[in-house]
Amino acid sequence: MLKKYIIHQLLILLLLCLTTGGLFGQNISVTKIEPPNWWVGMKWNTVQLMVYGENLQGISAKFSDSRITVREVHRVANPAYAFIDIAIPDDLPPGNYPLQLQRGDETLTVDYPLLARESGGLRHQGFSPADVVYLITPDRFANGDPANDMVPEMGDTLDRAHHYRRHGGDIQGIIDRLDYLQDLGITAIWINPLVENRMRRQSYHGYAATDFYRIDPRFGTNELYKTLVEEAHRRGLKIIVDHVSNHCGSGHPWLANPPVPGWFNDQGAENPEITHHYKYSFSDPHADSASIANTTRGWFVRYMPDLNQTNPFMHNYIIQNTIWWMEYSGLDGIREDTYPYADQQFLADWAAAVRAEYPGTNIVGEIWEYDPPIMAYSQANSKFPRPFDSNLPCVTDFAFGGAFHQYLAEDAKLNVFYKILAQDFLYADPYNLLTFGDNHDMPRLMFLANGDAEKVKLALALLLTTRGIPQIYYGTEIGMVGGKDHGSLRKDFPGGFPGDERDAFTAAGRTDQENDIFNYLRELLHLRKQHSAFADGKLTHFPPRDGAYVYFRNGKDERLMVAINNHPKAQELPWHHYTHAAPGAKLLRNLRNGETVTLGSDAKITVTGRQAAIFEVLER
pLDDT tens digits, residue range 522-533?
A: 999 999 999 999
pLDDT in tens, 79-105: 999 999 999 999 999 999 999 999 999
What per-residue confidence (pLDDT) applies to 537? 97
Domain 536-618: CATH class, spelled out: mainly beta
Examine the pLDDT at 76 and tell me if it is beyond 80. Answer: yes
Residue 13 — pLDDT band, cuts 50, 70, 90?
very low
Question: How would you label 566-579 residue by residue, b for 16+ Cβ within 10 Å and e otherwise?
Answer: beeeebebebeebe
Q: How many CA atoms lie within 13 A of 280 on its CB side?
A: 7
Decide: 282 and 315 in contact? Cβ < 8 Å: no
- Sign of the Cα torsion 98, 311, 333, 537 reads negative
Task: Check if 2-115 and 133-502 are the same fold.
Answer: no
Distances (CA, A) of 12 to 15, 19, 25, 208, 434: 5, 11, 17, 47, 66
Decide: 414 and 549 in contact? Cβ < 8 Å: yes
Q: Which of 277-286, 396-405, 464-473 has the lowest mean pLDDT?
A: 277-286
Report which DSSP code applies to 244. Answer: -
The arrangement of secondary structure in 133-502, i.e. its CATH architecture, is Alpha-Beta Barrel (3.20)
Q: Annotated catalytic, 153?
A: no
Residue 142 — pLDDT band, cuts 50, 70, 90?
very high
22-47: average pLDDT: 88
Residue 373 amino acid letter: P
Mean of the per-residue pLDDT values of the chain: 94
Bond into 35 cis (ω within 30):
yes
In the set 327, 332, 336, 337, the catalytic residue is 337
User: What phi and psi, each to the nearest 5 degrees, are found at residue 454?
Assistant: -65, -35
> What percentage of the chain exceeds 90 in pLDDT?
91
Please enumerate in sequence order all residues whose Cβ is within 8 A of that of 133, keeping only pairs 6 or more positions apart, or say none.
127, 186, 187, 188, 189, 190, 240, 434, 469, 470, 471, 472
What per-residue confidence (pLDDT) applies to 272? 95
pLDDT in tens, 308-330: 999 999 999 999 999 999 999 99
Examine the pLDDT at 112 and tell me if it is beyond 80. Answer: yes
Examine the pLDDT at 562 and tell me if it is beyond 80. Answer: yes
Q: Which of 14-18, 129-133, 260-264, 484-488 has the lowest mean pLDDT?
A: 14-18
CA-wise closest residue to 498 among 206, 167, 191: 167
What per-residue confidence (pLDDT) applies to 2? 35
Examine the pLDDT at 21 and tell me if it is beyond 50. Answer: no
508-524: average pLDDT: 98
Q: What is the number of other CB atoms lying within 10 angstroms of the CB of residue 499?
A: 7
3-state secondary structure of 295: helix
Annotated domain spans of the chain: 2-115, 133-502, 536-618
pTM: predicted TM-score of the whole model, two decimal places: 0.94
Q: Annotated catalytic, 337?
A: yes
Residue 420 — pLDDT band, cuts 50, 70, 90?
very high
pLDDT in tens, 233-244: 999 999 999 999
Instruction: Outline where 109-240 has alpha helix (H).
Output: 171-176, 178-184, 222-234
Distances (CA, A) of 228 to 39, 76, 171, 360, 405: 21, 39, 7, 20, 33
Examine the pLDDT at 43 and tell me if it is beyond 60. Answer: yes
For the structural domain made of 2-115, what CATH number should be given?
Answer: 2.60.40.10
What per-residue confidence (pLDDT) applies to 500? 97
In SS3 terms, 27-73 reads as CCEEEEEECCCEECCCCCCEEEEEEEEECCCCCEEEECCCCCEEEEE
Examine the pLDDT at 25 and tell me if it is beyond 90. Answer: no
In the set 156, 366, 369, 514, the catalytic residue is 366
3-state secondary structure of 447: helix
